[in-house]
């Protein structure tokens, strides 16, 4: 009984530290964030960071392990369904293009829903920091989820455009399409000011999706160069 209670308290402490660290690391970055500030935000003794995570670096990696776990819960089932659809693709080009657009919108919806739901927890700031100045945590993030997403988006671009999946042109287009989604988070201040949005709402995302669909259809239209 005592061991069960101790384990329960330990899990609660780890969760509190991770949630606090999400905010503090996201706001201050790894170097400027102090373990004292994280412990105070979590309402626990500072020594417990060392006990549970081995120190500040271990806690930082623990935060990204938490983010990846949450991302996988959202995106892995969607990625699997899309991959299953790609196991058998139509032979005719118009149907291939239509399938590519349909499945890219599926990925778009899932990714935006995930980010929208978890933005208050500080995900976006931390992920953007790692994109700009990669550390060991970025490798966890890329291997744990972004690699699979980008591989999937690249396959869909190849399907819709006729480009070779391994070609540089196809990979560049995949990054550009992915960037069309990310831009509303990476330059949020400019997007909000330019569009007059106080915050990114569900209605705003619906408007973005409508324009995203138009862009996809134009990029996969017959006659668009494949080089």
Averaged pLDDT, 146-155: 95
Spatial neighbors of 84 by CB under 8 A, at least 6 apart, are none
CATH for 1-54, options being 3.40.50.2300, 3.30.1490.150, 3.90.420.10, 1.10.10.60: 1.10.10.60
Q: CA-CA distance, 141 to 129, in Å (whole number)?
A: 12
pLDDT in tens, 18-35: 999 999 998 899 999 999
The pLDDT of residue 69 is 94
Identify the burial level of 86 via C-beta atoms within 10 angstroms of its C-beta, where 0-12 means exposed, 13-18 middle and 19 or more buried: middle
pLDDT in tens, 67-86: 999 999 999 999 999 999 99
61-219, CATH topology level: Tetracycline Repressor; domain 2 (1.10.357)
What pLDDT band is residue 7 in, cutting at 50, 70 and 90?
low
pTM here is 0.87
**Res 6 pLDDT > 50:** no
How distant, in Å, are the alpha carbons of 39, 47, 218 from that of 160? 50, 54, 11
Spatial neighbors of 154 by CB under 8 A, at least 6 apart, are 165, 170, 171, 174
Averaged pLDDT, 177-200: 89
Helices in 33-120 by DSSP H: which ranges? 35-42, 47-53, 56-86, 93-118
**Res 200 pLDDT > 60:** yes
Contact 35, 45 (CB under 8 A): no
pLDDT in tens, 33-58: 999 999 999 999 999 999 999 999 99
- Whether 61-219 and 1-54 are alike in CATH topology: the answer is no
**Res 4 pLDDT > 60:** no
Q: CA-CA distance, 18 to 14, in Å (whole number)?
A: 6
Name the residue ranges covered by the structural domains of the chain: 1-54, 61-219
Which residue, among 204, 32, 68, has the nearest Cα to 146 in the 3D structure? 68
pLDDT in tens, 110-132: 999 998 887 767 788 899 889 88
């Amino acid at each position: 009984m005592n061991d069960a209670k101790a384990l329960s308290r330990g899990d609660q402490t780890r969760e509190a530290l991770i949630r606090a660290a999400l905010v503090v690391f996201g706001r201050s970055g790894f170097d400027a964030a102090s373990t004292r500030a994280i412990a105070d935000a979590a309402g626990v003794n500072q020594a417990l960071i060392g006990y549970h995570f081995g120190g500040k670096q271990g806690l930082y990696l623990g935060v990204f392990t938490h983010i990846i776990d949450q991302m996988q819960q959202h995106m892995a089932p969607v990625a699997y369904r899309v991959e299953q659809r790609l196991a058998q693709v139509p032979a005719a080009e118009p149907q291939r293009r239509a399938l590519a657009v349909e499945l890219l919108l599926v990925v778009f919806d899932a990714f935006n829903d995930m980010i929208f739901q978890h933005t208050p927890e500080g995900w976006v700031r931390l992920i953007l920091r790692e994109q700009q100045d990669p550390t060991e945590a970025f490798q966890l993030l890329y291997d744990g989820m972004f690699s699979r997403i980008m591989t999937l988006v690249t396959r869909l671009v190849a399907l819709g455009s006729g480009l070779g999946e391994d070609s540089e042109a196809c990979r560049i287009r995949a990054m550009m399409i992915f960037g069309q989604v990310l831009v509303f988070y990476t330059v949020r201040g400019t997007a909000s000011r330019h569009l007059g949005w106080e915050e990114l709402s569900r209605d705003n995302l619906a408007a973005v999706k409508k324009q995203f669909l138009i862009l996809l259809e134009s990029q996969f239209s017959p006659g668009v160069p494949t080089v």
